[in-house]
Amino acid sequence: MASFLQVQGLRQAFSAPGGDELVVFDDINFEIERGEFVCIIGHSGCGKTTILNVLAGLERPSAGNAFIDGREIHGPSLDRGVVFQSHALMPWMTVRGNIGFAVKSRWPDWSRAQIDAHVQQFIDMVHLGGSEDKKPSQLSGGMKQRVGIARAFSIQPKMLLLDEPFGALDALTRGNIQDELLAIVQQTRQTVFMITHDVDEAILLSDKIFLMSNGPRAVLAEVVENPLPRDRARATMHHDPRFYELRNRLIDFLVNRSKTYAMA
């Protein structure tokens, strides 16, 4: 049976000054199963955001195709929830308003009471109860990212696309939100594709880790299965010797091997 998400022969090239072509990546192929949490890691500029934008339907590839649930991705859809590195909340709307707006777009026939109840459930899920009426300017960075996550989950997308959602947060806040995301994903079995620079974050959250070589002409160099059980927790996962094996493999890739895949 075909996988839930299929990416075939993806290539992205831009015209560079002087008429040359900058090939960001070429011949990227991968599959993601329903309920899987995949992290993608690679050095800056290798094309991670470009791939995520293609999956979101925000960018067209130069070649190749992406299919979700058997249908080709042509443009943005409420099938896919996206969380960007910097929050993309509407500044004039409250927390409730930002999430409610998405919910109303998804289910235009719902009554106000239905929308409010649904929104509240997702506000509670990210522990933002009490901040429903605040505007983004009144929230901390971590709280804003939580609203973005609640909004993305609230439309119950087939797939969640996360572009370094915690990159701008301090370590403590980041740890707390990672724990929340892990709990939510363990509960919902949401399919997730997430970009991160943080090896420990990838080990904590993912079932599978995609390693991208350095650009230009980056390739999907390795796919690593996470051997740690899915009920892992931040506080204890480093007691498992497999944690260090995996961590060393990922770091060794980033430091030593990511350069060696460049094509002629």
Ligand X SMILES: Nc1ncnc2c1ncn2[C@@H]1O[C@H](COP(=O)(O)OP(=O)(O)OP(=O)(O)O)[C@@H](O)[C@H]1O
Interface with ligand X, residue 46, by CB under 6 A: yes
Among residues 100 and 215, whose Cβ is nearest to ligand X? Answer: 215
Interface with ligand X, residue 92, by CB under 6 A: no
Interface residue with ligand X, options 23, 26, 30, 47 (CB under 6 A)? 47
> Which parts of this chain interact with Mg ion (CB under 5 A)?
49
Cα 257-262-263 angle, rounded to 5 deg? 145
Cα-Cα end-to-end distance for the chain: 35
State the Cα–Cα distance between residues 219 and 247, nearest whole angstrom: 21
Q: What is the largest CA-CA distance in the chain?
A: 60
**Residue 161 site contact among ligand X, Mg ion, none (CB < 5 to 8 Å, cut-off depends on kind):** none
Under a CB-based contact definition with an 8 Å cutoff, are residues 153 and 81 in contact? yes
State the Cα–Cα distance between residues 53 and 263, nearest whole angstrom: 24
Instruction: Give the bridge partners for 28, in sequence order.
Output: 10
Among residues 31 and 198, whose Cβ is nearest to ligand X? Answer: 198
State the Cα–Cα distance between residues 96 and 98, nearest whole angstrom: 6
Minimum gap (Å) between residue 263 Cβ and ligand X:
16
Interface residue with ligand X, options 29, 33, 35, 45 (CB under 6 A)? 45
Work out the angle between the directed axes of helices 141-154 and 171-188 (0-180°, nearest 10). Answer: 10
Tokens at residue 53, please? 């934008």
Interface with ligand X, residue 48, by CB under 6 A: yes
**Residue 129 site contact among Mg ion, ligand X, none (CB < 5 to 8 Å, cut-off depends on kind):** none
Tokens at residue 207, please? 């079932």
By CB under 6 A, the residues from 3 to 32 that bind ligand X are 14, 24
Query: Got the DSSP string for 219-244?
Result: -EEEEEE--S-TT--TTTGGGSHHHH
Interface with ligand X, residue 191, by CB under 6 A: no
Minimum gap (Å) between residue 240 Cβ and ligand X:
29
Minimum gap (Å) between residue 14 Cβ and ligand X:
4
Under a CB-based contact definition with an 8 Å cutoff, are residues 66 and 55 in contact? yes
Helix, strand, or coil here: 246? Answer: helix
Interface residue with ligand X, options 50, 94, 98, 190 (CB under 6 A)? 50
State the Cα–Cα distance between residues 132 and 29, nearest whole angstrom: 42
Interface with ligand X, residue 213, by CB under 6 A: no
Minimum gap (Å) between residue 164 Cβ and ligand X:
7
Among residues 28 and 150, whose Cβ is nearest to ligand X? Answer: 28
**Residue 115 site contact among Mg ion, ligand X, none (CB < 5 to 8 Å, cut-off depends on kind):** none
Q: Which stretch binds ligand X (CB under 6 A): 47-55, 87-95, 126-134, 234-242?
A: 47-55
Among residues 48 and 232, whose Cβ is nearest to ligand X? Answer: 48
Which residues make up the interface to ligand X (CB under 6 A)? 14, 24, 42, 44-50, 215
